[in-house]
Structures are given as structure tokens and as C-alpha cells.
Structure 1
């Protein structure tokens, strides 16, 4: 019979809380930077320049069709061979931004293309410049259309960030591994960490639904 012993976990729970804070911070920074990459990539994907569309398309396909673990290993272990050495936290952030940027590019592109072309033509008829059309005509409907997918991408990003512990980047999974090495209470530690990831996901899901209802006047039940 296995005797549960959560004492080592609760005695060091502050370490897990700090790891959870690092996970949230890393995920938010990566998502914000990834959104910038996504918007720029989506604009490039919908531009009239074939070479630009091809380059961004290649980036998206390469990232979407290779494992995230290999991507982060390439950045952390591969780049030093050509003289580019990144510390674990920077490598983790760069890998997450590159990854979420590729997926976000396609999500944002779909949102832009979902805006009726007639609205864009109406903006042109009113004499609006392309930047003004994008800002006043395209942006809000596109955001409304892609918001659910982008918030789901954030949740996925936060959960995926646990992989960065493989290169000793600081996050909740890394804090759990360190605590496990000290206490050997593997079952209890990873049970608690699983619950913490679940709670974080549910909290952010609820927060995003509230923001969605506030900004886009969605029904509260959605």
C-alpha cells in the first residue's frame, strides 16, 4: 500500500507558486510578442508580394510541421555551434514566440480574410488609406472572429511551456523537477502540479470569456 505524504509538497509550496508565476509571466510575454509576429505575418500572407507570401508561408509550414521540443533544442543546443549562445530563459521565450507566431499567423490571416470584401471596398470608396482601412474597417471584426481561437492558443501555449524545463528554463515544471530531486515525493508533487496547471487553465478560460463578453458583446453563456 502506498502511503501518501504531501508534507514535503506543502512545506515547499512557495517554490511551486513561484514556478507558476514564472509560467504565467513567460506565457504572457511570449503571447504578446507572438501576437506582433502573427499580425505582421498575416499582413505578409495577404500582401500582393509573392516572395513575401512565400517566405512567411515557408516559416509557418516549417514550424507547424516540426515538434516544439526539437525547435527549442535547436535554439538552445544547435545555435551555439554557429556562435549564438542563448541562456535557457531567453531560448525558451524565443522558441515560444516563434512557435505561437506561426500558428497565430494563420489564425489572424483567417480573421482578416473573414471580413467581407465589400466593407474594404466601401472604405476605399470613402478615400481611406490602406492603414486606415485596416485600423477602422478590418481590425475589430477580425479580432472578434479570431478571439476564441487566439485565447485557446494562449491556454495551449501556457501548457506547452512546460517543455522548456527540458533546457532548465525557469517555470512550474522546472520547479517541480527541482523539488522532486530534493524530496523524491514524485506522485504527490506531480499530482499537485497537474492540479495547478488545471486551475490556471480554468481561471484564464473564465477571464477570457469575460473579456470576450465585455469587448465584443458576446452572450454571457458563450
Structure 2
């Protein structure tokens, strides 16, 4: 094997790669926030008293979890354009990722909700708490605390999966890397740099969620297990 590694050519594009990494993080954090809200809503609908809401949420979850993310990205991007809504690649990628991760978040949060002991709910009912008060103070905090490590892993996977959005020319890290390797003809070096960048971003996201766990869950902080 006579291949000689040369990282100088792709590293000369470091401002573009840095901008792509920032776009990836922005896309991932926005999708995480809105996907979490969507997932919690669907989990509450799935475990609530309304049968039709549970059916709608269940259908959404099954459809999203059993179709490829790339197909969902194409449907959002080209589908919105076909209906007359002109949206940028970043917006379409965010919508697709929110819809995708919301389904997975819903199932994770639902597992947390169903792990709450019935005696705890009965005690809250005896105290005369409204359904919203029960959800706010009795159900959601311990449920999310229990599944927080699973949510963390899911959102890190979301960040890695955002590379698929390069297929609709969203200027995230993989899309920039594709352009760099086509200019430099140094594919191996370019994608090795990108792999290291994704590893670094994964560690950054885990650190952020670790800090969130420290702040949001005092009991885990006392036990020393924020994740």
C-alpha cells in the first residue's frame, strides 16, 4: 500500500468545516428541544383518557419509527415545496428531525410514565390534585428523571443522524465535507477529520446533558449519577 496521507489540503478548509459543525450542533439542539416537547405531548396522549388522541399518537409513532429518516427528510423537503411552501434546507431538516425524534422520545417518556407506581397516583388523587397538577408535580418529573439517560443517548444519536440532511444540501458538517473532498480529492483524510469532529460533538452534547442532569435532578446530583 503506497497511499500517503496528507491532511493539509482538507484542513485548509477549517473555517468551512467549523461552520458546518456549528450548523450541525444548532440543528441538533433545535430538533432536540422541539422533539422533546412533541414527544412528551404524544406520550401524555398515549397514556391519557382520550381514545382518539391515543390512536392518533400511536399511528404517528408507528409510521415514523417504521420508515427511514432519509425518506422522511425527502417527504418534508420536497413535499412542502410541492404544496407551495418555500422553505430552506435547514428549516426542512429541522422539521424532519423533530418529527422523527418526537416519535422515539414519546416511547421513552411513555415508559417512564408507566413506571410511576399506581399508589403514588392514588395518593395525589386523594390530595385533590387536578390532572394537570398530577402531571406537573407527580408524574412527569420522576418519569423524565428515570428515562433521562435513554433520552440523552437518543439525542446524541439524533445529532449523528443529522448527517443524512446533507442529501437536501443542508449546510451541516457532512455536506461541507462532501464539498471539501470533491475539491481536494482527499476523501479519506476529509472523512477522518469529520469523524473526529462528530466524536468531539458527541462528547460535548453528553457533557451538556450531564450538566442539565445535575441542575434538573437534585436526587441524581446527590447520588452522583446525573446521567
Query: Same fold per TM (> 0.5)?
Result: yes
Q: Say if 1:158 and 1:221 are closer, same or farther in 2 by CA, change over 3 A.
A: closer
Equivalent residue, structure 2, for 1:172: 173
* Conservation of the 8 A alpha-carbon contact between 1:75 and 1:86: no
Q: Name 2:200's counterpart in structure 1.
A: 199
What is the count of residue pairs matched by the alignment?
Answer: 222
Q: Which runs of 4+ in 1 moved over 6 A?
A: none
Residue by residue over 1:61-101, the C-alpha shift from the partner in whole angstroms, topping out at 9 and shown as x without a partner, is 00000000001111112333333333211110000000000
Contact 2:213 2:226 (8 Å CA) reproduced:
no
The match for 1:146 is: 147
Q: 1:30 is matched with which residue? A: 31
Unaligned runs of 5+ in 2: none
The yes-or-no answer on 1:208 pairing with 2:209 is: yes
The TM-score, its normalising length taken from structure 1, stands at 0.94
Superposed CA RMSD: 1.7
Q: CA deviation at 1:147?
A: 0.3
Partner of 1:11: 12
Verify: 1:219 aligned to 2:224, yes or no: yes
TM-superposed CA distance for 1:205, in Å, is 2.4
Shift of the 42–183 alpha-carbon distance from structure 1 to 2, 3 Å rule, reads same
TM-score by length of 2: 0.92
Structure 1 residues without counterparts, runs of 5 or longer: none
Task: Determine if the alignment matches structure 1 residue 97 to structure 2 residue 98.
Answer: yes
Measure, in 1, the Cα distance between the counterparts of 2:79 and 2:128: 50
Tell me how far apart the structure 1 counterparts of residues 125 and 119 of structure 2 sit (CA, whole Å).
10
Distance 1:183 1:79 in 2: 35
SS at match of 2:90: helix
Secondary structure of residue in 1 paired with 2:67: coil
CA–CA distance in 2 between the matches of 1:142 and 1:202? Answer: 25
Q: Is the 8 A contact 1:151 1:208 kept in 2?
A: yes
Instruction: Name the CA distance, whole Å, in 2 between partners of 1:83 and 1:17.
Output: 33
Equivalents in 2 of 1:88, 1:183: separation in Å? Answer: 25
Counterpart of 2:181 in 1: which secondary structure? Answer: helix
